[in-house]
Structure formats: structure tokens, C-alpha cells
Chain A
Amino acid sequence: MIPREFEYHAPTTVADAIGLLDQLGDDAKLIAGGHSLLPMMKLRFAQPSHLVDLGRVPELKGIREEGGTIRIGAMTTEAELINSPLLQAKCPLLVEGAKLIADPQVRYKGTIGGDIAHGDPGNDHPALMLALQASFVLRSAAAERVVPAESFFHGTYDTELRAGEILTEIRIPVPAIGTGACYAKLKRKVGDFATAAAAVTLRMQGNKVQEAAIALTNVGATPLKATAAEDSLRGKALDDAAIAEAARLAMSICDPVQDQRGDVEYKTAMAGEMTQRAIRTAAARAAN
């Protein structure tokens, strides 16, 4: 399988990449790690006339902490996330999530920015970003704007990114000390997308929930923030009934598409199960 013909561009700065997008217009597509786009191009689901490769733009790489915020360059790979001492110490949820993405070879190439900007509800970073209250830096020739993850995902392959804009950086507020988190993902095999998955962060005070964030993968046209489930937990003792009620509320917003991974009922039930598991594990990891 070979993609349709295209022209290849390898800019070395963000400014040059934006310049190419402005010049080439709708016929151009950005390529990050390429492990979603190239398979789509081989299957002719995507047929851009120009490919603008971000792989040689050093300013899009790296993980650092600045003023209580973790800043991750959009071209940082999954392998780099997994091996980051900063993330291991301060944002282990992202490390746990990245380890569950695809397989080792894909994780050397796949990037956090590509995973987010692709807009595929099967991708894992979108729900992780919702649970972590992340925001995204979108840069164009004219301006730079910062968009919260909650308003970035519009639909399947449809995001807040406008023509001529590049996602350059992911910003995550450093989770408060004592926060417990978990990404529970059900998949049929290594490399598969989630049948359903849940990302949860919890802050506990004694046995009561102080703060909760819950987001779901691959059970809707976008990643879903389960706000009613979050609200139901806040201020409550975390017992079996409270967890079951949160899972029920999470399931109530699921609208998955039936495919070879299961029918609507099964996927919805699995989203509930993943929510329960992620809440229990996050609670066990949280400081009281």
C-alpha cells in the first residue's frame, strides 16, 4: 500500500511551518509521528497534496515545569513521556496512559500533539487531557491562543484548530500533592484502540472526595467529560454506592458506535466498569 503522490516539506521552525500552511492552504496536512496519518494515506482515506513534517522542529520538543504548569512540546513522543522523570514524579497519569497507547515501536514515533490534534475519539490523550484540566497552545501567523481541552474537541476528526494553526504546546497544571489518578483502558490486544477507557483524578480528604475529574475514551464522537459523575462524588464518602452511582452517570452520557469491538450496550457497560476501576485505583493512590 502506497500513498497517493504528494510534495514533502520539512521546515525547521514553527514560523516556517505556519508559513507553509498559509501558502499551501487546504491541500496541506501536518504530519507529526505519522502513525495515524500515514496508514490513512496508504488506505487513501487521506490524500493531501502537500505534507508538512514537524519532525525537524526542535522547538516543538521537550517537557518542562514552569510556575506550577507542566509544558509539553507537541512533538514529544509517547516514549519520551514514559521516560520523563518529571512526569513520573508529578503527573504519573500521563505516563500510565502513554504506556497503554499502541505498541513500543509506535510509541517511539507517536506524539502527544499528533494524538490530540488528530481528533480521533479512539485516541487516549484527549480524555487524559480532560481529566488533567490541560490547555493547548494554538499558534498561527497572526496570534497565539490558549484553548482549554474541554472546548477543543468538536467531533470525530473535528477540533478547534483553524486553517493555518499549529498545536505547539500542551499545558497541564501540576496536580496537587496527594492527588490520585488512574487510566483504566479495556482493549482486545496490544495496539488496539480502547473498547472503552476512563481517566480519573481524585483528591481525598479522609474518606470523602474533595475533587474529582472523570473523562471517557472512545464512547462518543469526542472524548467525554463526565461532569455529572464528577459532581455526584464531590463531598461524598467514597463507598460502593457512590462509585456505582458515578459509573451510572458516566454511562448515561455514552454514545458509542457499534463495531467489531462490541455493540452499544456492551461498550457503554465497559465504560461504566472502567470508570469504577479507575475511581477505585485513583482513590487507593490518593493521599488521605
Chain B
Amino acid sequence: MAAKQTVSFKLNGKPVDVVVEPRELLIHTLRERLAHTGPHIGCETSHCGACTVDLDRMSVKSCTVLTVQCQGADIVTIEGMEQGGALHALQEAFSEQHGLQCGYCTPGMVTRAYRLLQEIPDPTEEQIRMGMSGNLCRCTGYQNIVKAVQAAALKLAAAREAPRKAAAPAPAREETPTPA
């Protein structure tokens, strides 16, 4: 058996160390060793995008990345989207715009859209459709996913304006998120 290797990376801002065989895929490390079951296993052949995570400011399919390739990486998963108990604007928007039905593709969709909106804060519908084209959804027909990304872009734009007006940072939201 190939010798196991220690791999250290940041997961949602926290440092983690794992000891893995070279052949272990990132999706398995996240789900089975680190209890981050948000990224889903869909096709296992890098087509569907359900396993998408943010790796060093890139959206990647974690079924097609070896954990040993992640030494020193900065990884964000769907679990890292909410801040201080408040949902990320994308999570709110997917809920409000009904951007999901069964929800299986949603963690990948939200994580991909997170990077897309960092790169293009004010995307056109075409840019959203192209930018989200590595994520498959078998329920929604994509209309409401596009609407959710558009709505999130507006929310984030408003939030960028807001802190300039507010005297102090907004306190962490205490109420539980509204169910979809």
C-alpha cells in the first residue's frame, strides 16, 4: 500500500490536517474524514458539479482532485457560506427564488455561483448561464437558479453599499433562517 501522507489545508477558514493515501479524492476526505457532507457525490466523472468546492479561488469538482494536491490550499464549501449564523446572500436568494427542488445539486450550485459573483459581481443572464454550465440540475429547468443568482448579485451589491452608511458592523442575525 502506498504510504499515507499528511496534508494540511484551510477548510472554511480553519486549519485542518488529514492523513490520506495518495489516491484519496478530495470529496471523500471532506465527506468521510471531515464530516463536511455539503458537497455531494453525483456523477463521479466531473460532469455534474454536485461536488463543487472553492479551492484557492477556483471552483473545482472535488471528485476530480486528489487530497494530496491540496497541501496548503484554502478550501471553502457550502458549510462555509453562512457567517455568524446568517445565511449567505446566495443561500437566501436560492430559498426566496425557489432555486431548488430536491436540493441535491444546490451546494454545488451555490458554491459555484459564489466564485462566479466574485469574478463578475454584476453578471448578465448569459454570463450566469455560461458560468453555471458546469452544474447540472435535473429538477428546476434552471430558470429559478438563474433568478437566484441574479437576486444574490443585487443583495451583495446592496450589502457593499450598506456598510458605508452604517456606523457599526451589523450584529450577527439571531433569528433562524426562513424555511424555503
Contacts and interface: CB of A to CB of B under 8 A. Distances in A.
A4 B60 contact: no
Interface of B: 1-3, 5, 21-25, 28, 44-47, 49, 52, 58-61, 64-66, 68-69, 71, 112, 116, 130-134
Nearest to B48: A191
Contact of A104 (B23, B45, B71, B112): B112
A8 B134 contact: no
A142 interface: no
Given A1-B45, A8-B68, A191-B47, 8 more contacts: A2-B23, A34-B65, A35-B46, A42-B44, A79-B58, A105-B46, A108-B60, A109-B58
Interface in A29-65: 34-35, 38-39, 42, 51, 53, 55
Contact of B22 (A8, A106, A109): A8
A3 B58 contact: no
A7 interface: yes
A201 B45 CA distance: 34
A2 B66 CA distance: 10
B64 A34 contact: yes
Nearest to B108: A105
A261 B20 CA distance: 39
> Sorted from nearest, which 4 A-B pairs have the closest CB atoms?
A103-B134, A8-B22, A108-B58, A105-B134
A260 B21 CA distance: 36
A108 B64 CA distance: 12
Interface of A: 1-8, 10, 34-35, 38-39, 42, 51, 53, 55, 79, 102-106, 108-109, 190-191
A2 to B, nearest CB: 6
Contact of B2 (A5, A38, A55, A102): A5
Contacts of B46: 35, 38-39, 105-106
Given A5-B23, A191-B134, A55 B69 contact: yes
Nearest to B47: A191
Contact of B64 (A6, A7, A109, A191): A109
Nearest to A51: B22
Contacts of A53: 69
11 contacts: A4-B23, A6-B22, A34-B64, A35-B46, A38-B46, A42-B44, A51-B22, A105-B61, A191-B47, A191-B133, A191-B134
Contacts of B5: 8
A8 B6 CA distance: 12
Contacts of A106: 46, 61, 64, 134
A7 B133 contact: no
A39 B134 contact: no
Contacts of A1: 44-45
B60 A3 contact: no
Contact of A105 (B2, B23, B49): B49
Give the interface centre of A5, A35, A104 by most chain B CB atoms within 10 Å.
Answer: A104
Contacts of A8: 2, 5, 22, 66, 68
A104 B114 CA distance: 13
A38 B27 CA distance: 13
Give the interface centre of B3, B68, B71, B134 by most chain A CB atoms within 10 Å.
Answer: B134
A6 B23 contact: yes
A5 B1 contact: yes
Contacts of B1: 5
Contact of A6 (B2, B28, B45, B61): B2
A1 B27 CA distance: 11
Contacts of B47: 191
Nearest to A79: B58
Contacts of A10: 68-69, 71
Contacts of A2: 23-25, 28
A7 B65 contact: no
Contacts of A191: 47, 133-134
